[in-house]
Amino acid sequence: MTTSPSPSSHDSDSVPYSMQVPIGISQLPAGPSGCNTLIGCFNHLSLNSSKSRFPTPPKPVASPLGTRDEQRKIYHGPKLSDRATGGPDAGPLIERFSCLFKDQYHCKSNPKGIVSLGVAENFLLQDECLEYFKTAFAKNFLTSDLSYGDSLWGSRRINRALSSFLNDYFHPAEPLTSDSLITGVGCSAVLDQLFYTLMDEGDSVLLIGPYYTGFDRDLIGRARVNLVPVCPPCEGFSPKSIEYFEKKMDELAAQGHRVRAVIVCNPHNPIGRTYPRETLLAYAKFCEERDLHLVSDEIYAMSVYDSPQSDNVPFTSMLSIDPEKELGIAFDKARLHVVYGMSKDFCANGLRVGALISPHNPLLLRAMANTSMLMKISSPADVIWSTLLEDRPTLNKFLATNRARLAEAAAHTRDFFESRGIEVYPSNAGNFAWVNLGPILGIETADEEKRIFQKLLDGGVYVAPGSGYHNPVPGWYRITFSVARENLDVGLRKMEDILGLRKITNGK
Ligand SMILES: Cc1ncc(COP(=O)(O)O)c(C=O)c1O
């Protein structure tokens, strides 16, 4: 079904955005919690740690709260929903993360704290962003921003600023309008809402493994979909990888599973690489042939940097491809959805701004609008981001500076590991390096990988283990380099000491 928006729905600035009639719609149709998730890694920690720097979890107490198992033993109150209590238990993750965040390294106030190189946050432009955001807020925050504004599912201001930004920087095949998107409190919330709307419980979604660990939380937590990593023996960024998607889909169908969507994360987290256009077209062709939704998470779109080690494939948005023109095949554009946000490219994980861009599926946007009040972004965040998006000289300067700093931090991190004989993946995007400690430390199993993760944590440095991303080969870790240089260097030195890494001299 192709549901093209009617021309009248575009640029309809005379009609308030919130009152625009949805196009052509009267009525809407009505996990894996195993060890290969970040939650699994943290569960492992709480069970197997003999010398953990974290306190032992408290014994179950007679409280309606607590872990799932505790609840089952001690909770006699009225039943909680199976939906809320039947998914992966985030308890250990929340508990361990709060220890981590409470005990963060600071050179003066907490020099014995944990250096976090495991969270994808970008601190490289923090000073400039803080100063600009404060001024934008002071200048542009109005009394009308104290009300619900001009829409219950976003605002005209942010939709206009964002669609114009996307038109100029993502080069969509057809120009986007304010009606092409819906905003929400970060990409996590948008993904949750999107998959809740696209899928029925138990439906399967295919994506290349390793994959961003947050997809487990965002897609399984409420939507309860089945995330299936495809780990091809070939290069995961080549069009050839699609053959393995086909095989996996057939296998799942034979087992009675229904695949409904494919996710592409471009640039990729945790690998830090951009997809070539031909691969994106191959994904589009596959989704058309198999009648699947195609969701492209492009949260690192503007965090692509020059990297002498990589083939420097430029970022191509899924919005810019045109399979009908480029491949001469029919392509129902209603199946294409792109997710973008402010957290990474704009160094602002805390502001919580994200968006879904689905230019040819008004039914989907309308369905999401039903509950979009649950994820409406706050007006301060709205003001700050729209001001920056519309201020092109500053925006261009910010993006260029961010890229240059990412390139420099990536090269610094690569040099540290490579000079110690450790392989680093040839990345060109994102906030992290994908590093293979397996050979040098003799890691052969996921348990060994997690033991190293534990050892590093106990020694005061947090890095993200590959098994948390469903990586099929043990020994890989994701190291965030977009932190203050002093913290990065302290973290790398700790890794060196704890793991006994040594600089190679004379090629040895
Ligand atoms: C690929 C990807 N998608 C989504 C998110 C979530 O971003 P947000 O902070 O907008 O919720 C992240 C954050 O790490 C990410 O890496």
Specify the CATH number for the domain of residue 442.
3.90.1150.10
Boundary-marking domain end, from 362, 390, 418: 390
CA dist., res. 109 & res. 123, Å (int):
19
Question: Among 57, 50, 115, which residue's Cα sits nearest to residue 89?
Answer: 57
In a domain, 59, yes or no: no
In a domain, 276, yes or no: yes
Are 90 and 167 members of one domain?
no
181: CATH: 3.40.640.10
In a domain, 66, yes or no: no
In a domain, 304, yes or no: yes
Q: Which helix (H) or strand (E) holds 494?
A: helix 485-499
State the residue range of the domain holding 407.
Answer: 86-121+396-499
pLDDT of residue 16: 35
Q: Is 120 in the pocket of ligand 1 (CB under 6 A)?
A: yes
Mutation to probe ligand 1, out of 217, 269, 295 (largest number of atoms < 8 A from CB): 269
**Bridge partner list, 208:** 230
pLDDT tens digits for range 133-152: 999 999 999 999 999 888 87
Number of domains in the chain: 2
Are 196 and 153 members of one domain?
yes
Are 483 and 362 members of one domain?
no
Helix residue ranges per DSSP H, 328-459: 362-369, 379-390, 392-418, 438-441, 446-458
Question: Among 389, 165, 430, which residue's Cα sits nearest to residue 304?
Answer: 430
Q: Which helix (H) or strand (E) holds 74?
A: helix 68-74
Are 182 and 95 members of one domain?
no
Boundary-marking domain end, from 368, 390, 412: 390
- Measure the N-to-C terminal CA separation of the chain; round to a whole number of Å: 61
Are 448 and 355 members of one domain?
no
Q: Is 119 in the pocket of ligand 1 (CB under 6 A)?
A: no
Are 269 and 290 members of one domain?
yes
Are 189 and 98 members of one domain?
no
Are 330 and 472 members of one domain?
no
In a domain, 64, yes or no: no
In a domain, 53, yes or no: no
Q: Is 469 in the pocket of ligand 1 (CB under 6 A)?
A: no
Mutation to probe ligand 1, out of 116, 122, 188 (largest number of atoms < 8 A from CB): 188
Boundary-marking domain end, from 367, 390, 413: 390
Cα atoms in the Cβ-side hemisphere of radius 13 Å centred on 25? 21
Q: Is 204 in the pocket of ligand 1 (CB under 6 A)?
A: no
The helix/strand/coil state of 34 is: coil
Are 313 and 412 members of one domain?
no
> Digits of tens for pLDDT over the chain (508 positions)?
333 333 333 333 443 333 333 333 333 333 333 445 555 555 544 434 445 555 555 444 434 456 666 666 766 777 778 777 776 666 666 767 777 778 899 988 999 999 999 999 999 999 999 999 999 999 999 999 999 888 877 899 999 999 999 999 999 999 999 999 999 999 999 999 999 999 999 999 999 999 999 999 899 888 999 999 999 987 889 999 999 999 999 999 999 999 999 999 999 999 999 999 999 999 999 999 999 999 999 999 999 999 998 889 999 999 999 999 999 999 999 999 999 999 999 999 999 999 999 999 999 999 998 888 899 999 999 999 999 999 999 999 999 999 999 999 999 999 999 999 999 999 999 999 999 999 999 999 999 999 999 999 989 999 999 999 999 999 999 999 999 999 999 999 999 999 999 998 865 5
Report how far ligand 1's centroid is from the alpha carbon of 346 (Å). 12
**Rg, C-alpha atoms of the chain:** 23
Return the ligand 1 atom nearest residue 188 CA.
11
Cis upstream peptide for 308 (omega within 30°): no
DSSP 110: B
Q: Are 422 and 476 in contact (CB under 8 A)?
A: no
Are 110 and 242 members of one domain?
no
User: How buried is 507 (Cβ within 10 angstroms: 0-12 exposed, 13-18 middle, 19+ buried)?
Assistant: exposed
Are 431 and 468 members of one domain?
yes
Question: Among 456, 482, 413, 376, which residue's Cα sits nearest to residue 129?
Answer: 482
Are 405 and 381 members of one domain?
no
User: How buried is 387 (Cβ within 10 angstroms: 0-12 exposed, 13-18 middle, 19+ buried)?
Assistant: buried
